[in-house]
Amino acid sequence: MALPTSLPPEFDRGVVTTVHQGDCHVSDAADLTYSTVLGSCISACVRDRVANVGGMNHFLLAEQSGSAKDRYGASARYGAFAMEQLINKVLTRGSGKKANLEIKVFGGGKINAALDDVGAKNIEFVREFLSAEGYIAASEDLGGTFARRVLFKPHSGRAFVKRLDSDLGANVAREELAIARRRVVVPAPVDDIELF
């Protein structure tokens, strides 16, 4: 399947906000587009279909810790925190009803052999998280051996994915490898209270 080379018209105008690793943004602005570039990271796009409020996060999970209490370790709690934060922000600004949420997930590519398969672990995490919380992804573009740019309109819920060429993917892979080598550990949330 050939991917389009140009943007659909609604993504080609308005304000674009970049969502960086660790970010979580929510809005109801009709002319806003969230944009991010993913390698092995995951971005979730969550929208309240009734209130036309949506948001995007971007997170990277490190290797599993083997902890008996939390199978995915402290950095996965960050992933869980990122998911909970996004869902809670959309619920708070929207109708407050979980049944009105539409969730789309992207990323988890294996773009660098030196990173083990962080992308596969991230995909497993996000799927298990959504299942445990009673959500079903409306759509997803996960895995593969490429980086991707994701555009999301929080008001309409439209998403656009462009698979990036190998040069751009290599840049994303270098950035992720540098983070892994520094062994940056994202702090766990202050508490484990769910705010749903």
List the chain domain ranges: 15-182
- Tell me the pLDDT tens digit for each residue of 158-193: 999 999 876 655 566 566 655 555 544 444 443 333
**pLDDT at residue 170 in the model:** 57
Query: What residue ranges in 28-179 does DSSP mark as E strands?
Result: 32-38, 42-48, 53-57, 101-107, 139-142, 148-152, 159-163
Residue 51 pLDDT grade (very low, low, confident, very high; cuts 50, 70, 90): very high
pLDDT tier at 114, thresholds 50, 70, 90: low
- Does the pLDDT of residue 101 top 90, yes or no? yes
Question: 3-class DSSP state for residue 190?
Answer: coil
Cα separation, 142 vs 126, in Å, equals 10
What is the percent of the chain with per-residue pLDDT over 90, rounded to a whole number? 54
Rg (CA), the chain: 16
The length of the chain in residues reads 196
Which pLDDT score is estimated for 14? Answer: 85
pLDDT of residue 150: 96
Strand order across the 159-163 sheet: 15-18, 32-38, 148-152, 159-163
pLDDT at 148: 94
State residue 60's pLDDT score. 83
Q: What is the pLDDT of residue 186?
A: 44
Residue 69 reports pLDDT greater than 90: no
What CATH number belongs to 15-182?
Answer: 3.30.1330.200
